[in-house]
Amino acid sequence: MEHFDWLQRHAERDADKLAVVDAHTGRQWSYAQFNERANRLASFMRHRLGLQTGDRVSILAQNSSDYYEVLFACGKSGTILNTLNWRLAVPELEFIVNDCQPRVLVYDAEFGAQVEALRPIPGCEFCLRIGTDRESDADLAAGAGEWWYEQALELGSADGVEAPRLSYDDTWAILYTSGTTGRPKGAQVTYGNFFYNAIGMGQAIDLTSQDVNINVLPAFHAGGLGLYAGPIFHAGGTLVVVRKFDPVEVLRLIERWQVTVLLLVPSLYLVLSQCPELEQVDLSSVRSWASGGSALPPSLVRQYAERGIVIQQGFGMTETGPTVFIISKKDAVRKAGSVGKPVLHTNVCIMDPAGNVLGANQVGELCVRGGNVITGYWRRPDATAEALVNGWLHTGDAARYDDEGFYTIVDRWKDMFISGGENVYPAEVENVIYQHPAVAEVAVVGVPHPKWQEVGKAIVVIKPGHQLAEEEVIAFCQGKLARFKIPQSVAFVQALPRTAAGKVLKRELRQQFGG
């Protein structure tokens, strides 16, 4: 199926409709304006920079309306967007850009130090700096391959470029997700993935052009692009973009813009539940509250329900566009703890390790198939072959469904845990701690936390003749890992529990240390 330009059609059909509000800068763009800005950037990249179909464009930036312009400009020009997690340490970013090899880097001025530390980036010829004060930086010159973002738009054509012929199987974005080995993998998110996610999620919550969404999820995540930004733009609705989450400000914006649909992660719902303004602000415009990223405690569902707010729990992954499940509003409280049933155009099943499909009330690995599933991992045929078997994506999550067909994610099939909505893969953290000269063995597990839901705990065996304190282990990780990955506590043991085959029994460690 051939990809189609959503913004262009909305600009033709309803030019003056409000498309996006940038809550940080106060800018507001109609679909005609939003489309023109994306056209100008696409033209600049194609005609001025000479980018070709399939070239990568990386972005290291906070949430803004510009972020979505870059997304759609890549779609219009046939280039591939690579989103960079600004929470990562420089060595982590370095691995991604070396693997992805973008020709262009778009970045917020506030991340200038990180960009300088990354230089030179193999294959990267051009940089676009997002910012408003162009006069403050005299060293930024086009001759050096750098432009201010707004300057680039001025140099581009409002008519855009002749759209390359692209199919739903072509890659629109590469989003990196760490594996259990600690080596990040670039998920190839296609035009079809974006489309089927927009259809699936849109149908599940009855999304229309009259809906207004506020997005607080980071745009470098599949959630920030796909929940609900992608579906909102597909439907022709309005997106209110929030740069950073502040509970009082978010509540004020919901009331100000009469927000109708939103999705938050459980840790943000927990913060809001403790905010006095929750009772003071008019939230009657919101018809759909949803949650994703990690398990939403049933107790929190019931707590909100007592206030008249019904939260719909969902489930998705970077590799699935991201939506797979969202529970219906009528069942959200009755079936608290369940993620509901699959969205439209998405098939799921539960398999045992031998690949047999299991029935009701049997726990196995969740597998997903459909137009929302990625084609594979960037330059990783090994990882692609492991994850995609006979058309089924093996998610690595343990799940089951009940006699009514409602699915529940029982546990992470692998050792990953989620801290404040961010995936943390223990092997990656362990690889860093193992570099400490006093560490003989280490295992990292997720343990409960009142704010972040889970945080890392490192269980360490010290080498004979060495001494090591908790503070030293934590300090050793600083600068080598993103802050959310760094363990917040450390325990010391004589030996790690292992199976006969030598595998660390993390289940026992979680039981022992409160995980």
Q: Which residues of the chain have pLDDT under 70?
A: 132-143, 178-182, 411-414, 499-503, 515
User: Is residue 261 within 8 Å of 312, Cβ to Cβ?
Assistant: no
In sequence order, which residues have a C-beta less than 8 Å from that of residue 308 and are 6 or more positions away?
none
CA-based nearest residue to 33, from 75, 72, 84: 72
Query: What does the longest C-alpha to C-alpha distance in the chain come to?
Result: 74
Rounded to 5 degrees, φ, ψ at 194 are -60, -45
Cα 422 to its chain centre, rounded Å, is 8
Contacts of 294 (CB under 8 A, 6+ apart): 265, 266, 267, 418, 421, 453, 454
Cα(159)–Cα(139) distance, integer angstroms: 31
**Of the candidates 87, 292, 286, which has an alpha carbon nearest to the alpha carbon of residue 201?**
292
**Phi, psi (deg, nearest 5) at residue 412:** -70, 125
pLDDT at position 426: 82
By the 8 A CB rule, do 214 and 257 touch? yes
Q: What is the DSSP letter of 285?
A: T
d(CA 156, CA 44): 4
* pLDDT (tens digit per residue) in 276-331: 999 999 999 999 999 998 778 888 898 899 999 999 999 999 999 999 999 999 99
Q: In the chain, what are the domains?
A: 6-166 (3.40.50.12780), 193-412 (3.40.50.12780), 417-513 (3.30.300.30)
Give me the pLDDT at residue 507, please: 80
From first CA to last CA, the distance across the chain in angstroms is 46
Residue 186 identity: G
pLDDT computed for residue 433 by the predictor: 92
- Residue 458, beta-bridge partner list: 444, 490
Angle between helices 65-77 and 31-43 (to 10 degrees): 60
pTM: 0.85
d(CA 24, CA 27): 8
What region, left, alpha or beta, does residue 502 occupy, with left being phi > 0 and alpha being psi -120 to 50 degrees?
left
pLDDT tens sequence across 197-219: 999 999 999 999 999 999 999 99
30 — phi, psi (to 5°)?
Answer: -75, 170
Q: Return all residues near 486 (Cβ < 8 A) that are at least 6 apart.
A: 429, 456, 474, 477, 478
470: alpha, beta or left, given left = phi > 0 and alpha = psi -120 to 50?
alpha
Q: What is the pLDDT of residue 363?
A: 87
3-state secondary structure at position 348: strand
Element of type H or E holding 440: strand 439-449
Cα dihedral across residues 168, 236, 238, 65: positive or negative: positive
Q: What is the DSSP string of 187-199?
A: EEEEHHHHHHHHH
